[in-house]
Amino acid sequence: DAKTTQPTSMDCAEGRAANLPCNHSTISGNEYVYWYRQIHSQGPQYIIHGLKNNETNEMASLIITEDRKSSTLILPHATLRDTAVYYCIVRFHNAGNMLTFGGGTRLMVKP
Amino acid sequence: DGGITQSPKYLFRKEGQNVTLSCEQNLNHDAMYWYRQDPGQGLRLIYYSQIVNDFQKGDIAEGYSVSREKKESFPLTVTSAQKNPTAFYLCASSRAGGLTDTQYFGPGTRLTVL
């Protein structure tokens, strides 16, 4: 099963882009990369997912390297409300639709 | 409004008592999940169900039990056999089938065993 590695914490200035990296060097061809975030004491919130191509939605952009061994979540204009723990997850293809969450990156957006 | 509800938000129980956490969804999702989160940690899967009347153990099922009698409901019972039940419990649901189905989470229940 593919696992992910993320930095434990990051800081970002308000209004600037937040770039959150994730390594998933053992990812297999049919596994997707998902990003969730969790604001303190709330349930996780889905952000974005992708397979090979870069993806963008109203919340963020997801950049996946050509070899798919790493990805970056980009919050283009971080606000104080983006302060949260961000989880990078690789979907296990033989485990139904379960998601396994690691420790994530604690993003602190500062004024 | 469509979504996933969990109740109560905070729950206190005495050691040795069983307690049942509620999870209801009106998204018409086939699959439902229970996760546990400890302070500063990621989520760990307790149980999941991909269809009514069927469920499977996750990574940390010992001391927990579930039922799936209705599509919209997936209650979790924390039994007295669970050694460290104090935690934040999250329920999620998704459409069954396919690798791209996104899981949507409820607001969580914080259980404290005294």
Q: What pLDDT shows up at residue A83?
A: 96
Closest Cα to residue B43, out of A43, A2, A26?
A: A43
Asked if A43's CB is within 8 angstroms of B105's CB, the reply is yes
Residues of A with CB under 8 A from a CB of B: 30-32, 34, 41-46, 49, 87, 91, 93, 96-104
pLDDT (tens digit per residue) in B70-103: 999 999 999 988 888 999 999 999 886 444 567 7
Decide which of B42 and B113 is more confident.
B113
Q: Kindly list the strands in the beta sheet with A70-75, ordered across the sheet, starting from the edge strand earlier in the chain.
A: A18-23, A70-75, A61-64, A55-56
Mean pLDDT computed over B24-51: 87
CB B92 within 8 A of CB B36: no
In the numeric block, which tokens belong to residue B70? 């209705």
If you measure CA to CA, which chain B residue comes closest to A34?
Answer: B102
Cα gap B64→A72, rounded to integer Å: 36
Write the single-letter amino acid at A87. Answer: Y
pLDDT (tens digit per residue) in B10-34: 999 998 899 999 999 999 999 898 9
Q: What pLDDT shows up at residue A80?
A: 96
Closest Cα to residue B90, out of B73, B70, B69, B104?
A: B104
- Which pLDDT band, with edges at 50, 70 and 90, does A29 fall under? confident
If you measure CA to CA, which chain A residue comes closest to B33?
Answer: A98
A70-101 as b/e, with b when 16 or more CB fall inside 10 Å?
bbbbbbeebeeebbbbbbbbbbbeeebbbbbb
Closest Cα to residue A34, out of A76, A78, A4?
A: A4
Pairing assessment for the beta strands A45-50 and A33-38 based on DSSP bridges: antiparallel
- Which pLDDT band, with edges at 50, 70 and 90, does B114 fall under? confident
Asked if A98's CB is within 8 angstroms of B48's CB, the reply is yes
Write the single-letter amino acid at A78. Answer: A
Most B-contacting residue of A97, A98, A99, A101 (CB-CB within 10 A), to test interface: A97
Q: What pLDDT shows up at residue B42?
A: 73
CB A18 within 8 A of CB A75: yes
Q: What pLDDT shows up at residue A39?
A: 84
Out of A32, A45, A103, closest to residue B41 by CB: A103
pLDDT (tens digit per residue) in A83-102: 999 999 887 544 555 666 77
Task: Give me the percent of chain A exceeding a pLDDT of 70.
Answer: 89
Q: What pLDDT shows up at residue A105?
A: 95
Query: How long is chain A?
Result: 111
